Amino acid sequence: MTITITKTTAYDDQKPGTSGLRKKVSVFQQPNYLQNFVQSIFNSLDGFQGDTLVIGGDGRYFNRQAIQIIIKMAIANGFGKLIIGQGGLLSTPAASNIIRKYKAFGGIVLSASHNPGGPDEDFGIKYNVGNGGPAPEKFTDALYANTKVIAEYRSAEVADIDLDTLGEQQIAGVKVSIIDPVADYAALMADIFDFELIKQSIAAGLITLKFDAMHAITGPYAKKILEEELGATPGSVFNAVPLEDFGGGHPDPNLAHAHELAEIMFGADAPVFGAASDGDGDRNMIMGANIFVTPSDSLAIMAANAKLIPAYAKGISGVARSMPTSQAVDRVADKLSLPCYETPTGWKFFGNLLDADKITICGEESFGSGSNHVREKDGLWAVLFWLNLIARKRQPVADIVREHWQTYGRDIYCRHDYEAVDSDIANGILDHLRGLLNGLPGKTWGDYTVKCADEFSYTDPVDGSVSSAQGIRIGFANGSRIVFRLSGTGTVGATLRIYLERYERDVAKHDQDAQEALADLIALAEQFCEVKRRTGRNAPDVIT
């Protein structure tokens, strides 16, 4: 085998964000841009010679080209085996499962997740470690340092690999295995949930469903599991063919972007259950007939009912949520005497807690939830959890949610996003907020007296690592909160996220519209951060 060593010059913008490196495709297409980053990943790793690397992506534009480049570089750098999803496809949770199941050294996942795809849109790449989860910050920091000094990369002179034919081939002494991207994942789901019960409920007409794959990676997974294995009517899964540009949409499962599903679920003759997933299959949106379940509520409901699911029948060890996620799950943990952890935004912070069995179930307000079955959030897992739950409880989604609120109270919640804000203005807003923090505690506006105000810093209870500057938190005496942080996944300017929540114990007030119920807090948030005044905008771009 001939190995070529190519001289290269460093790029200064390869700092991984919340979930890997995400840039416009045109940025990734610059000479050696991808190669620099991949070689920097390998330069940050020790002891992988002869070991296994998993490679797969969400199928967006540039996926196939990127995979060919990565295969050649992995061979030249000394991996002994490559496991690749057929067609270059692997959903993020499926990749996590493959890494764990086949005891790989790690994996490279190509995705910009919920960001749009296509020649003018986004591409992304991240490295997952041997536990199947996103690399922790100490790795991504070392990786970033390596990207700044990279001077050369290694690549094997071999022909492009046929990504579409299943099977194993030897290439320059390296085993390259093209696997079915769905089979191992479908088997894992069958181990966790009561497929027989779900199947009976569907056959009996107790559960009717619609799943919007948003022209992204979960199409083939959902077709196989929901339609073929569980017997949902053909066509229950729609937008099921993955497209390189996701049909021109944002593959982001929320009421704004998954509007096709939202129309069905709020329409006449809505099915019992509706759901959608994102570009790489790790997010989920849960709906019932005429009801949208907020991700924070979904997490709390799953934690409260975990024992109804075969894999968690013996109970769960604890729960965790990202800091901006509502406190609904905390109330469940409190009642069930379970440990509850608050982590920074991003799934990488759950990995240590899951590995140490401090938690079994965790989630984020951004439509992500998961458990110890893999080390990524998992969209279809959440869908199957809800189907299993509905089948066990024999109740519509709306009743399950309302009963939960009756028991625990409702954490009325929403998030406002201001996208593509000028970076200097966005940083100015954060600086301004930092300046306010010390003076806020004790101040009162109407029903809201500030109890605490700080910038969130997290010390990992397992390895003691510290992550600071993880968002501004303002907590009120009545349990309400406002959180401000900048996105770490956007690719244009800065995105300011404002998270708002208010606790409502009174059952008579549970059916309020969130925007109305949160109006006072929304006004206070503007008073604190001045985003409208500073940007000249009059409304958020997206409300979830």
Catalytic residues: 113
Annotate 219-240 with DSSP letters as a single string: HHHHIIIIIIIT-PPTTSEES-
Residue 360 per-residue DSSP state:
S
Does residue 487 belong to the site contacting ligand VG1 (CB under 6 A)?
yes
| Pick 194 or 365: Cβ nearer ligand VG1 | 365
Provide CB contacts within 8 A for 201, sequence distance 6+: 207, 387, 390, 391
Residue 389, CA distances (Å) to 186, 193, 241, 246, 366 in order: 18, 10, 28, 30, 22
Q: Which stretch binds Co ion (CB under 5 A): 64-72, 146-154, 275-283, 331-339?
A: 275-283
* Near Co ion by CB under 5 A: residue from 278, 365, 376, 460: 278
Provide CB contacts within 8 A for 394, sequence distance 6+: 206
Does residue 122 belong to the site contacting Co ion (CB under 5 A)?
no
Does residue 352 belong to the site contacting ligand VG1 (CB under 6 A)?
no
Which partner in ligand VG1, Co ion, none is near 61 (CB below 5 to 8 A by kind)? none
Site string for ligand VG1, 73-112 (x = CB under 6 A): ----------------------------------------
Query: And the tokens for 517?
Result: 């119920």
- The per-residue b/e assignment along 418-435, b for 16 or more CB within 10 angstroms, e otherwise, is bbebeeebbeebbeebee
Q: Which stretch binds Co ion (CB under 5 A): 49-57, 71-79, 109-117, 195-203?
A: 109-117
Contact call for residues 174 and 75 (beta carbons, < 8 A) = yes
Q: Which stretch binds ligand VG1 (CB under 6 A): 179-187, 295-303, 334-342, 360-368?
A: 360-368
Contact call for residues 223 and 240 (beta carbons, < 8 A) = yes
In whole angstroms, give the CA distance from residue 196 to residue 143.
Answer: 45
Residue 441 beta carbon to Co ion: minimum distance, rounded to whole angstroms: 36
Does residue 280 belong to the site contacting Co ion (CB under 5 A)?
yes
SS3 508: helix
Residue 112 beta carbon to ligand VG1: minimum distance, rounded to whole angstroms: 7
Q: Which residues pair with 318 in a beta bridge?
A: none
| Pick 212 or 504: Cβ nearer Co ion | 212
Site string for ligand VG1, 16-35 (x = CB under 6 A): --xx----------------
Q: Which residues pair with 285 in a beta bridge?
A: 276
Residue 257 beta carbon to Co ion: minimum distance, rounded to whole angstroms: 13
Site for ligand VG1 in 270-309 (CB under 6 A): 278, 282-283
C-alpha angle with apex 375: 374 to 380, nearest 5 degrees? 55
Site string for ligand VG1, 447-486 (x = CB under 6 A): ----------------------------------------
In whole angstroms, give the CA distance from residue 96 to residue 104.
Answer: 10
Site for ligand VG1 in 317-336 (CB under 6 A): 322
Binding site for ligand VG1 (CB under 6 A): 18-19, 113-114, 278, 282-283, 322, 345-347, 364, 366, 368, 487-489, 497
Chain positions contacting Co ion, by CB under 5 A: 113, 278, 280, 282-283
